[in-house]
């Protein structure tokens, strides 16, 4: 079995335990280690590399984007790629305004600030609480950690940021918790990723939207993992018809470069005044040029149709696998985002899969998570499933 070592070098903070294989190259849907061994990638950099590796168009866009010499200018000055990207996101979604960040957690932190700014203008200082759901993962910065329901991530850093709490995924509990005088916003992943790949019911989302709207509470959707095509529509919320007040995206949006965004309605963004928020790097010309291209590719109807049909096939194949494998307890997911509850510790299966040339990851101690690049073909999906079945045993 693959040995997990803290790191080859002591120079990195030891927060990740990594297998010893060092990746030196990527092509299509495979990564290659220093020995030339190939690994079929069902992780995609944790839902980032939607276009796989070495995509010729993406590579060319990156080259072109450096030719101008304009990698960064700061947000003190205008550059067109970020403006074009914001226009594109507004054209393709419910949003009227966009704020760019450099990661998912940062986007959520910004969305929390926007919620509080808006709420203060509506109801005064008491209206500031942010609610997140049981099983949620919204990031590991201070505000987002308080909205992340993973005890082991939270415990070492108490006291966590105040005014943020976790509520059960239950409409009755939410009904009791959604006090319009004190609650500014609720944040929800339409498909919970790290929490075990849980697809929230469309009826649940619609009821929550109705409740929040009636009470003057904002609904923030976190589509950092499930957005940008992963569920077969550009945004996952299109499938329930729920329009949020704020929505965050990140992971795949700049082809592997670090970027996130807050999409907002005019009503919410109008509460933000000059100086209320900021970032040195967010929306810079290099990263935005790449993201303009990625936006076109990942909102392409043909790609989305591919994710829907092949994702349905993947789901049916996983359910069939579960029927054959005694050690599989449940299968959940949608599109190219699937979770498999297993009896064994997930990390042992992840390690065995890597030994066999397949990269998968986990979502909790007993859930395997599959997040293949959105361009993966059925042949490669089937190849991965065959290895998966073998290593689940």
Ligand X SMILES: Cc1ncc(COP(=O)(O)O)c(C=O)c1O
> Which residues of this chain interact with ligand X, rule CB under 6 A?
46, 103-105, 108, 137-139, 189, 193-194, 222, 224-225, 250
Residue 372 CB, shortest distance to ligand X, in Å, is: 16
Q: 224-254: b or e for each residue (b if 16 or more CB lie within 10 Å)?
A: bbbbbbbbbbbbbbbbbebbbbbbbbbbbbb
Q: What Å distances lie between residue 164 and 97, 122, 147, 212, 301, CA to CA? A: 25, 19, 6, 17, 38
Return the number of the residue (108 or 231) whose C-beta is nearest ligand X: 108
- Which of 194/310 has CB closer to ligand X? 194
Minimum Å gap between C-beta 63 and ligand X is 25
Nearer to ligand X, 116 or 251 (CB): 251
Q: Give residue number: closest CB to ligand X.
A: 104
> 67: closest CA among 288, 214, 286?
286
Expressed in angstroms, the distance from the first to the final Cα of the chain is 15
Q: Are 280 and 148 in contact (CB under 8 A)?
A: no
CB of 93 to ligand X, least distance (A): 17
User: Tokens 């509990």 — which residue?
Assistant: 173
- Cα distances (angstroms) measured from residue 33 to each of 30, 38, 211: 10, 7, 51
Would you say 221 and 246 are in contact if contact means Cβ atoms under 8 Å apart?
yes
Toward ligand X, which CB reaches closer, 222 or 380?
222
**In the bound complex, what is the minimum distance in angstroms from residue 30's beta carbon to ligand X?**
23
Beta carbon of residue 288, minimum distance to ligand X (angstroms, whole number): 17
Secondary structure element (H or E) that encloses residue 184, with its range: strand 183-188
Min. distance of Cβ 251 from ligand X in angstroms?
A: 6
Question: Rounded to whole angstroms, what are the CA distances from 78 to 84, 103, 132, 323?
Answer: 11, 21, 35, 56
Helix (H) or strand (E) holding 58: helix 56-67
Half-sphere exposure of 388 (CA within 13 A, CB side): 30
Q: Please, what is the minimum distance in Å from the beta carbon of residue 308 to ligand X?
A: 21
CB nearer to ligand X: give 193 or 311. Answer: 193
Q: Which CB atom, from 107 or from 178, has the smaller least distance to ligand X?
A: 107
Q: With respect to ligand X, which residue has the nearer C-beta, 115 or 225?
A: 225
**Cα of 95 vs its chain's centroid, Å:** 18
User: In whole angstroms, how close is the CB of 144 to ligand X at the nearest point?
Assistant: 7
Strand boundaries in 44-128, DSSP class E: 97-101
Give CA–CA dist 81/66, Å, rounded.
Answer: 13
- Please say which residue, 240 or 317, places its beta carbon nearer to ligand X: 240
> Which is nearer to ligand X, 131 or 224 (by Cβ)?
224
Closest distance to ligand X from the beta carbon of 60 (Å):
26
Min CB(370)–ligand X separation in Å: 14
Output 79 or 108, the one with its CB closest to ligand X. 108
Per DSSP bridges, beta strands 129-133 and 183-188 are parallel
> How far, in Å, CA of 117 to CA of 271, rounded?
6
């Amino acid at each position: 079995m693959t040995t997990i070592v803290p790191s080859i070098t002591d120079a990195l903070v030891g927060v990740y335990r990594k297998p010893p294989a060092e990746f030196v190259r990527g092509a299509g849907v495979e990564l290659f280690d220093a020995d030339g061994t190939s690994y079929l990638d069902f992780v995609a950099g944790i839902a980032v590399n939607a276009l796989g590796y070495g995509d010729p168009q993406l590579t060319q866009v990156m080259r072109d984007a450096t030719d101008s010499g304009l990698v960064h200018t700061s947000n003190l000055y205008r550059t067109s790629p970020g403006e074009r990207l914001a226009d594109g996101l507004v054209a393709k979604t419910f949003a009227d305004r966009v704020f760019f960040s450099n990661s998912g957690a940062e986007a959520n932190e910004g969305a929390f600030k926007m919620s509080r700014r808006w709420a203060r203008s509506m109801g005064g200082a008491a209206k500031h609480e942010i609610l997140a759901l049981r099983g949620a993962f919204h990031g590991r910065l201070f505000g987002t950690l308080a909205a992340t329901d993973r005890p082991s991530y939270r415990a070492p850093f108490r006291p966590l940021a105040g005014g943020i709490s976790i509520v059960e995924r239950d409409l009755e509990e939410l009904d009791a918790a959604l006090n319009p005088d004190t609650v500014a916003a609720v944040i929800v992943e339409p498909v919970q990723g790290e929490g075990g790949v849980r697809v929230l019911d469309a009826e649940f989302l619609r009821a929550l939207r109705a409740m929040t709207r009636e009470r003057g509470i904002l609904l923030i959707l976190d589509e950092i993992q499930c957005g940008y095509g992963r569920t077969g529509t550009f945004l996952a919320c299109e499938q329930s018809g729920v329009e949020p007040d704020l929505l965050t995206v990140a992971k795949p949006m700049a082809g592997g470069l670090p970027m996130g965004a807050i999409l907002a309605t005019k009503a919410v963004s109008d509460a933000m005044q000059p100086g209320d928020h900021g970032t040195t790097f967010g929306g810079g010309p290099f990263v935005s040029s790449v993201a303009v291209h990625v936006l076109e590719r990942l909102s392409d109807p043909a790609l989305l149709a591919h994710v829907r049909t092949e994702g349905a096939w993947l789901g049916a194949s996983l359910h069939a696998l579960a029927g054959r494998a005694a050690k599989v307890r449940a299968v959940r997911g949608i599109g190219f985002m699937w979770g498999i509850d297993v009896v064994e510790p997930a990390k042992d299966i992840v390690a065995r899969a890597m030994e066999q040339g397949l990269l998968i990851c986990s979502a909790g101690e007993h859930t395997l998570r599959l997040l293949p690049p959105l361009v993966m073909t059925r042949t490669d999906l089937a190849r991965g499933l065959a290895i998966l079945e073998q290593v689940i045993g």
